[in-house]
Structure 1
Amino acid sequence: MTAGRLGRLRAVIVDAVLLGMAAIEAFEAIGFSRSHLLAEVMAVVALCALPFRRRAPYLVFVATVPMLSLTMASIASLVALYTVAERRPARIPLATCTLMVFLDSARSLWGEGYPLSGSLLDLVYAVLFAGAPVLMGLLMRARTELAVQLAEVRDMRGSRQELLLEKELARARTDLAREMHDVVSHQVSLIAVQAGALQVTARDDAVVEIARTIRTLSARTLDELRQMVGVLRASGSRSPDLSPQPGIDDIPALVAASGIDTTVNTTCTTDDEVSAAVQRAVYRTVQEGLTNIHRHAPGAQAWLELQIDESAVHLSLINSSPRRSPDPLPSDQYGLRGLRERAELLGGSIATRQIASGGYELALQLPLRC
């Protein structure tokens, strides 16, 4: 059973017990009343109103006062006064309700020939009858407010711990990114050095061209790794000097450096400017597509078509079937997954499909502005 259902069940049980006690006291006290019929009517009204004391505390209290005056049955009025103090602790209305209970409980003080000792005792009883429900109601209200404040403090403490944990995780990810940069940059630097040596010593022009391409790509990879590590630095450290991010205008240079026989067709029918985030996404998509062609379709031709109109940017990169078997390089599919997540964040979409000629198509569609 949940906490909410348990609380409602507890409230129903308490109301049933209080209503039963008030009914027993009321109908026992009716016999001492001068007007039995009027007392019975007021008792029924008070008992019928008592279950609604949480919704309308003042009205329920007013409904119980006539029964208290006619029969001196006090349980219903005391319960109603307690509810007023717990739910509606405004000073003037609460003081008025308390005074009404006090005056009804101390009626004997105005009787003639009543001894002084009895009057003092009745005065103490009247104060206790009127004051105890009020003090208990205010105490329960303070307890409820304190419980709410403690829950808020626990929530704030939990939120603070989550923030600290996220900060530590971000710092750990930054350290991990730096470690990855050191490892990858070392390996890529060795590749660049070996490609440079091959470029100098090779006699075949084709081998020299391939070595030059490998060295250029290695240098570009190192530069991009350094930029990524600069962006991932923890807050509070010295701000990195970032180079301009690549965009659509850099795609021809990217295609030329890839070494893939690619036909590029660019069409622009709008004067609206494409946002920087969309340009980076287009560039990264072309970069990942060319990398996948190198990896999975060596020797294939490619056709790159880029269309920019008033509504969106459309990119299509198609490659033919490979001319030779691809090398067994590791692939984790993180590249396409990252491109798809980037496109969705920018409000676009990306799709891939196998074409009938044995080639592959990578299609991207993004809005001009994100």
Structure 2
Amino acid sequence: MKPSDAALVAAALADVWLNVDREDRSSVAVALLAVAALTLRRHRPLVAFVLTLPTALLTDAVFATLAALYTLSSLARHRSLLVCCALAFAVADFMPWPWSNLETGDLGRPHVLVNITYTLATAAAPVFLGQLVQAHRELSLRLAEITEAREHQQLLTSQAVLAKERAQLAREMHDVVSHQVSLIAVQAGALQVGSRDADARAAGATIRRLSVQTLDELRHMIGVLRASGSRPTELTPQPSLADLHQLIGASGIETELVTNLSGELPPRLQRAVYRTVQEALTNVRKHAPGAAATVRIQRHGPRLRVTITNTAPTRPALRLPGAHHGLIGLGQRAELLGGSVTSERTPEGGFALRLELPTGGAG
């Protein structure tokens, strides 16, 4: 029993104690039945009201009947039923029992009219209060539904804006970036074919191969961006640790790969390692020409540590445009996997990039 129900039963018992003659066993029985009926008011409100009605007829203890009438009014939706119940209580409370005790001409006396008015007001009060509580409850539900609908609409609006931005980005990538990379590939092919210098031809072949790979990735990324609004699309093919040797070989940097891994890592960890090594080698090409690099991928218990270090540059670095978002993106990727990325300059004039990830017991 809820605390509110227990308090209501206690108040009804107090009403019985004060207003029922304990010598009249029938009145006491009817009053106690009304008190017990209050335990049914939440699940069977009409039954509870009917069981409490006799106490209003036979005794002055009407608290249980009023409480049952209030509960019925707060739950029922049929106004005609509530009117009938209120009139039934008013008649039971006003009329003497037995009804034959009502004397002829009593209904015309002023004090009787006052009593009738008071009884009708007493019967109407719990009905109005219960209807008010019901309206408040329904209003709260409607407000909650409106709030949910508004949040859903805002989500749809934000998704539509995001889809529009992704479509615009896809157009820009297709019209500008892909075009420029295609020109790079064409010029590199011309250099590969037309140059007499073997090193220049090799460089042209490398540039052309990387340009073609970049175009393939761009085309797939454009497809992913244009697929917004449909099911999530995975960027495929996804790189893994098996692709590190090809990445290092195509980097044009003298790189040593050291690893003690045994067993397979989850694909998400392999992608994080690959992207970290890729970004580090890209930075070496841009900022440390002529430097050599070392890639160490080692496992220490439940942690995976990747360290990419490079020596000091042997040639002046070219001034290339960059948004400095590479390391930020690596840090965000690592945080999503529960790891971290740190970077620092080495005492020898080089640079070190470190990635640490939890393996989660894999492999």
The TM-score with structure 2 as length reference comes to: 0.71
2:318 partner SS: coil
Kept after mapping to 2: 8 A contact 1:254/1:287: yes
Are residues 241 and 156 of structure 1, via their aligned partners in 2, closer, same or farther at CA, if it must alter by over 3 Å?
closer
1:202 — aligned with what? 195
Identity of aligned residues (%): 36
Unaligned segments of structure 2, at least 5 residues: 22-37, 61-92
Counterpart position of 1:334: 325
Q: Which residue of 2 aligns with 1:118?
A: 107
- Tell me if 1:146 matches 2:138: yes
Read off the aligned partner of 1:162 and give its amino acid letter. Answer: Q
Q: Secondary structure at the match of 1:168?
A: helix
Match of 2:94 among 103, 106, 114: 106
| Aligned 8 A contact 1:53 1:60 in 2 | no
Residue 207 (structure 2) pairs with residue 219 (structure 1): no
Distance 1:55 1:195 in 2: 88
**Paired AA for residue 94 in structure 2:** A
1:343 is displaced (CA, Å) by 1.2
- Please state how far the C-alpha of 1:164 moved relative to its aligned partner: 0.9
Q: CA RMSD in A?
A: 3.5
Q: 1:240 to 1:159 in 2, by over 3 A?
A: closer
Deviations 1:136-157 (A, max 9, x none): 1221121121112112211221
* 3-state DSSP of counterpart to 1:316: strand
**Which residue in 1 is equivalent to 2:185?**
192
Measured at CA, do residues 236 and 112 of structure 1 come closer, stay the same or move farther in structure 2, by a change above 3 Å?
Answer: closer
Residues in 2 aligned to 1:141 and 1:260: alpha-carbon distance in whole angstroms: 77
- What is the match of residue 316 of structure 2? 325
Structure 1 pair 95/136, CA: closer, same or farther in 2 (3 Å)?
A: farther
8 Å Cα contact 2:297-2:304 kept in structure 1: yes
1:266 aligns with 2:259: yes
In the alignment, is residue 232 of structure 1 matched against residue 225 of structure 2? yes
Corresponding position: 1:172 with 2:164: yes
C-alpha contact 1:350 1:365 (8 A) present in aligned 2: yes
By how many angstroms is 1:68 displaced? 6.9
Q: Distance in 2 between matches of 1:252 and 1:53?
A: 73
Q: Name the residue aligned to 2:68.
A: none
Q: What is the alpha-carbon distance in structure 2 between the residues aligned to residue 343 and residue 325 of structure 1?
A: 32
Aligned to 1:91: 46
Native 8 Å contact 2:181 2:215 kept in 1: yes
Deviation at 1:121, TM superposition (A): 4.1
User: Could you say which residue in structure 1 is the equivalent of 2:355?
Assistant: 364
8 Å contact from structure 1 (residues 288, 335) kept in 2: yes
Name the amino acid aligned to 1:59.
Answer: A
Counterpart CA distance in 2 for 1:129 and 1:68 is 21
Name 1:253's counterpart in structure 2: 246
Where in structure 2 are the equivalents of 1:293-304 lying within 5 Å? 293-304=284-295
On the 8 A contact 2:96/2:102 being kept in 1, the answer is no
Residue 152 to residue 55, structure 1, CA distance change in 2 (3 Å) = farther
Q: Flag structure 1 segments of 5+ consecutive residues without an equivalent.
A: 1-51, 71-83
Q: Deviations over 1:202-257 (max 9, x none)?
A: 33333333222222221121111122223334357699897431110101111111
Deviation at 1:317, TM superposition (A): 0.5
The Cα of 1:65 is off from its aligned counterpart by 6.2
> Take 2:347 and 2:253, find their aligned partners in 1: how far apart are those partners?
21
2:86 is matched with which residue?
Answer: none
Contact 1:317-1:361 at 8 Å conserved across structures: yes
Change (3 A) 1:113 1:275: closer
- 173, 178, 199: which one pairs with 1:181? 173
Against the structure 1 CA distance between its residues 240 and 365, is the aligned structure 2 distance closer, same or farther, given a 3 Å change threshold? closer
SS at match of 2:202: helix
Paired residue type of 1:346: L
How many equivalent pairs are there? Answer: 303
Task: Give a deviation string over 1:105-157, Cα, whole Å, max 9, x none.
Answer: 52767695744442884774365144212211221121121112112211221
Determine helix, strand or coil for the equivalent of 1:232.
helix
Structure 1 pair 361/241, CA: closer, same or farther in 2 (3 Å)? closer
1:289 is matched with which residue?
Answer: 280
Distance 2:299 2:160 in 1: 42
Q: 1:64 to 1:328 in 2, by over 3 A?
A: farther
The letter for the 2-side match of 1:256 is G
**Alignment partner, residue 56 of structure 1:** 7
SS state at 2:309 partner: strand
